[in-house]
Amino acid sequence: MKNLSIDPERLWDDLMLTARIGATPKGGICRLTLTALDREVRDWFKAQTESLGCAVTVDDMGTMFARREGQRADVPPIAMGSHLDTQPTGGKFDGALGVLAALEALRTLHRAGYETFAPIEVVNWTNEEGARFSPPMIASGVFAGVYRRDWACARADRGGETFGAALDNIGYRGAQRCGDHRLSAFFEVHIEQGPFLEAEDKDIGIVTGVQAMRWYEMTIVGQDTHAGTTPMPRRHDALLGAARIVETVNRAARQFPQAVGTVGILEVKPGSPNVVPGEVFLTMDLRDPDAAVIDRMAQEIATQARAIGAELGLEIAIKAISAEPAVRFDSGCVAAVRAAAKISGYSARDMISRAGHDAAFVSRVAPTAMIFVPCKDGISHNEAEYSSKEQCAAGAQVLLQAVLDYDRQLAERYGR
Ligand SMILES: [Zn+2]
């Protein structure tokens, strides 16, 4: 087989070019899903892939599939990709690297005139981040049959606009029904978003699975009253309850060696300096490689919340809004990544993803694996997020090799 090499400069140029769409003063990106900026980067992605001869399909959750034909049109495509939406103070690499590394791998095939056995597709999943519409990974969730499409389309952002309306507004509600798109396999490159690869000086993470994750919403209702005239013993201060719950979540997670627990959103009503807060909305994110540990954390937090509510005279309602089990990736796809890292001459280690990814949902309906590259100081969901040109290139090169390896596995299976 010809030795195909991706072009590190071209990949880096794409990363820096698309980073201008929604660029923040501190060097990050704010490109929330289904906004005008998201449309701009989607239009760019569509134009790039079409210029390589790809046909671009959009499904009715807005997910984009750019397809390059192979020898066999009847074989489902091998897909690779990630997401182009970001957090409000996101970095240049989370998601973007996975889509642009896939684009660079596709370009490399195109320039070499390499004919694969299966069609190859680059995917841009809608709303991976969940920053504007909760839950995260909503489109890959519908794709995998975890969420219902109508429910997903009715999810509203904090301003009241629904996911479906936002899709229509940017013109990316496609004709294909989400999920009616079979894949032979899916590969996702991503920055690690954690410290292990950098600390161990490894080029590539061979991701064998994803830790379990649960999201909750909590509403705390007390009573808004005058901040000057209401004596302390007569208050039902919802924010005081929320403060104690933030502490409780932190303490619950610290009881387990691998667990993490986070309150990421706190909305205080009515939000006036001289009114005792009567209502607080907050979100809670709990994770551990073992789902049973999350159960124990959630139970303890619920028990504590009841005690806090009783003491302060508050009504506290906890609603579970998403629950992702621990994921084990496909052994054939993981083997393709391992072989790809080896043949490309990169140091590598097996690891579990500590963050949620579209690949976790896709793995329910297609053989899937992920490739991690190091990021500086393990920092992500932050404008300072950084991976070097060489680190990004290594991810793209391993992606290309893994896809070609899997393509050969497929050709054998179909008895070419
Ligand atoms: Zn991501």
In this predicted structure, what is the pLDDT of residue 322? 86
- Name, in order, each residue with C-beta under 8 angstroms of 285's C-beta and a sequence gap of 6 or more: 213, 214, 215, 260, 261, 262, 263, 264
Distance 310 CA to ligand 1 centre (A): 39
pLDDT, residue 284, reads: 97
Q: What are phi and psi of 211, to 5 degrees?
A: -70, 160
CA of 311 to the centre of ligand 1 (A): 40
Pairing of strands 78-82, 185-191: parallel
Reduce the DSSP state of residue 261 to 3 states and report it. Answer: strand
pLDDT at 253: 98
Q: Ligand 1: distance of its center to the CA of 97 in Å?
A: 9
The CA 395 to ligand 1 mean position distance, Å, reads 14
DSSP 282-317: EEEEEEESSHHHHHHHHHHHHHHHHHHHHHHT-EEE
165 CA to middle of ligand 1, Å?
24
How far is ligand 1, taken at its centre, from the CA of residue 36, in Å?
Answer: 20
Q: Are 285 and 321 in contact (CB under 8 A)?
A: no
pTM: 0.83
Q: What is the Cα gyration radius of the chain?
A: 23
Distance 192 CA to ligand 1 centre (A): 9
CA of 82 to the centre of ligand 1 (A): 7
Instruction: Measure the CA–CA gap between 141 and 122, rounded to whole angstroms.
Output: 18
Q: What is the pLDDT of residue 324?
A: 84
Q: Residue 268: which of 255, 256, 281, 259 has the closest Cα?
A: 281
Q: How far is the CA of 86 from the centre of ligand 1 (A)?
A: 8
Q: From ligand 1's centre to the CA of 120, what distance in Å?
A: 21
Phi and psi at 21, nearest 5°, equal: -85, 95
Task: Report how far ligand 1's centroid is from the alpha carbon of 83 (Å).
Answer: 7
Residues in the chain: 416
Give dist(CA 130, CA 150) in Å, integer. Answer: 17
Angle at 198 (CA atoms; ends 256, 264), nearest 5 degrees: 45
CA–centroid distance, 316 to ligand 1, in Å, is: 32
| Residue 150 host element (H or E) | helix 149-153
pLDDT along the chain (416 residues), means of 10: 85 98 96 98 98 98 98 97 97 97 98 97 97 95 97 96 98 98 98 96 97 96 97 98 98 96 97 98 95 96 98 98 91 97 97 93 97 95 95 98 97 88
Distance 380 CA to ligand 1 centre (A): 9
Ligand 1 (ion): residues with CB under 5 Å are 94-95
